[in-house]
Amino acid sequence: MVDILIWLSQYGGWGLLLIVIIFIIVFYDELEKLIAKLYDLFSWVSAGWRRKAVKAGIESNVNSFSRSIDKEAPNIMPYNMKLQFVREMDRAELLREKNLVLVRIRDRRHDDKNFVHAMLTFCPVGVLPSSRPYLNDLLSDAIDFTITRKFLNAIRYQGALNYLYKEVIEPEIAEKPELGKLCTILDRLDEQGLFTRMILRELRDLGVKIGSRYPTEAHKQEARQFVEYMDAIATRLPGKNMKEVGCLGTYISVGFVFVGTSGTMIRYLRHLQKLKAMQVERAYIAARDDWIDTAERTSYLAEKGNIAKRLKSKRYHATDTLGQRREQILIEMQLVPSAPFAPPEQGKLLEE
């Protein structure tokens, strides 16, 4: 990198211009945060400068967070945010030609409130944009609250978290108890590392598969049923077998293989074969700690035996059902090609 910059500097003004462009591209996140800090230094001058400082701070933090989520699972949060303060109600729109979401919110005079309301206004347009018509309102709200909580945790903004819990989420849950249940489920899945890696990824694909079809209740039921199936995965006790071996819907078709003390390599491979015979599209091989190598070996043998194609493997640390922080692995396997588009039908759980 240094050699390239030295070489470019030999070309005078054009070389220096290219160096500046390279620095902007490579250090874009840091540049956004630097601009926000410069505005913050002069926020005392006037209300206008204060709003510029808040605007720059929100934009830089949200855009950095969006890029980190989208790097983990592409097209879940594909847009940047541009913020404007207005006197009317909060709203957001996608500026397609600029590939960003324009968020307009009222200035609530407190930074913590502005951060929360900017993110909550951004989420319905900026998170899972192609899938939103196919999710019911409760699930959409629960996803927005979970994403906003993750964002505020990521930037360590405790004051905004307190405001989100006390002034926004709790009043909503008091009116809609089912929303509280969904928030608890998504929070549990997030704690186990499955929220972005599984829930948002599969819901993203749901929107792609349905395309531009008119949303139906069947679409919304299938998305909700998938979330409930994943909750059964998250609350499964170590070593306990599940009655359901997968979730087979018109658009969401996944199964799990748990590698642990109660099985053998042959059993895991037969389980994958069974899921494939049921026409389940994707299987996830999951393991913890000392069983991670066995999971890797299982995926290798499954691919070698033409049972499944290995797509992606991710190691991470997450909390299990007993509250212990452990190393985990999730291996994504393609069992059968994606199903052709068909009339929407309600998904069903597969039983042994």
Same domain, 114 and 226: yes
Q: In what order do the strands lie in the sheet with 348-351?
A: 309-319, 325-334, 282-288, 253-258, 244-248, 348-351
| pLDDT of the residue at 344 | 40
**Of 188, 207, 235, which marks where a domain is finished?**
235
CB 63 within 8 A of CB 80: yes
Give yes or no for residue 331 having a pLDDT over 70. yes
Give yes or no for residue 29 having a pLDDT over 70. no
Backbone angles phi, psi at 131, to 5 degrees: -100, -15
Asked, for residue 200, whether it belongs to a domain, the answer is: yes
Mean pLDDT of 144-155: 97
**Of 202, 235, 268, which marks where a domain is finished?**
235
CA distance to 36, 140, 324, per residue, from 125 (Å): 24, 11, 36
| pLDDT of the residue at 5 | 47
| pLDDT of the residue at 352 | 40
| pLDDT of the residue at 19 | 47
If you search the block for the tokens 């699930």, which residue do you land on?
139
Integer Cα distance of 217 and 137 in angstroms? 12
**Amino acid at the residue 303:** E
Same domain, 27 and 47: no
Same domain, 204 and 89: yes
Q: Bridge partners of 175?
A: none
Integer Cα distance of 76 and 139 in angstroms? 16
| pLDDT of the residue at 46 | 55
CB 246 within 8 A of CB 278: yes
Structural element, H or E, at residue 316:
strand 309-319
Same domain, 67 and 1: no
Same domain, 252 and 273: yes
Same domain, 261 and 318: yes
Same domain, 199 and 317: no
Same domain, 213 and 116: yes
| pLDDT of the residue at 150 | 96
Dihedral (C-alpha) 352, 194, 254, 213: value to the nearest 10 degrees?
A: 130
Same domain, 328 and 186: no
Domain range holding 256? 244-351
| pLDDT of the residue at 237 | 75
Integer Cα distance of 110 and 107 in angstroms? 8
pLDDT band of 36, cuts 50, 70, 90: low
Give yes or no for residue 125 having a pLDDT over 50. yes
Lowest mean pLDDT among 27-36, 112-121, 275-284, 289-298: 27-36
Same domain, 179 and 57: yes
**3-state helix vs strand vs coil in the chain, percent to 5:** 55, 20, 25
CB 92 within 8 A of CB 148: no
Give yes or no for residue 83 having a pLDDT over 90. yes
Asked, for residue 36, whether it belongs to a domain, the answer is: no
Task: Calculate the CA 3 to chain-centre distance.
Answer: 38
If you search the block for the tokens 């999710």, which residue do you land on?
135
- Express as a percent the part of the chain with pLDDT over 90: 60
| pLDDT of the residue at 345 | 41
| The total number of structural domains that make up the chain | 3
Give yes or no for residue 92 having a pLDDT over 50. yes
CATH number of the structural domain spanning residue 316: 3.30.110.20
Supply the pTM of this predicted model: 0.82
**Of 235, 258, 279, which marks where a domain is finished?**
235
Same domain, 230 and 250: no
DSSP letters along 54-117, please?
HHHHHHHHHHHHHHHHHHHSTTSS--EEEEEEESS--EEEEEGGGTEEEEEEE--SSHHHHHHH
CB 77 within 8 A of CB 66: yes
What confidence tens digit (pLDDT) does each residue in 185-238 have? 999 999 999 999 899 999 999 999 998 889 999 999 999 999 999 998 888 876
Give yes or no for residue 13 having a pLDDT over 70. no
Asked, for residue 155, whether it belongs to a domain, the answer is: yes
Integer Cα distance of 211 and 215 in angstroms? 10
Asked, for residue 273, whether it belongs to a domain, the answer is: yes
Asked, for residue 37, whether it belongs to a domain, the answer is: no
Lowest mean pLDDT among 15-24, 164-173, 286-295, 299-308: 15-24
Lowest mean pLDDT among 37-46, 272-281, 314-323: 37-46
Asked, for residue 302, whether it belongs to a domain, the answer is: yes
Give the 3-state secondary structure of 199-235. Answer: HHHHHHHHHHHHCCCCCCHHHHHHHHHHHHHHHHHHC
What confidence tens digit (pLDDT) does each residue in 221-233 have? 999 999 999 998 8
What confidence tens digit (pLDDT) does each residue in 254-296 have? 999 989 866 688 889 999 999 999 999 999 999 999 999 999 9
- Of the ranges 30-34, 160-164, 264-268, the best mean pLDDT one: 160-164
Lowest mean pLDDT among 35-39, 85-89, 177-181, 330-334: 35-39
- Mean confidence (pLDDT) of the chain: 84
Mean pLDDT of 122-130: 95
DSSP 219: H
pLDDT band of 45, cuts 50, 70, 90: low
If you search the block for the tokens 């049921």, which residue do you land on?
278
Asked, for residue 151, whether it belongs to a domain, the answer is: yes
What confidence tens digit (pLDDT) does each residue in 332-352 have? 999 988 654 444 444 444 444
Q: Of 127, 111, 24, 152, which is closest to residue 66 (Cα–Cα)?
A: 127
DSSP letters along 288-310, please?
EGGGHHHHHHHHHHHHHTTS-EE
Same domain, 272 and 127: no
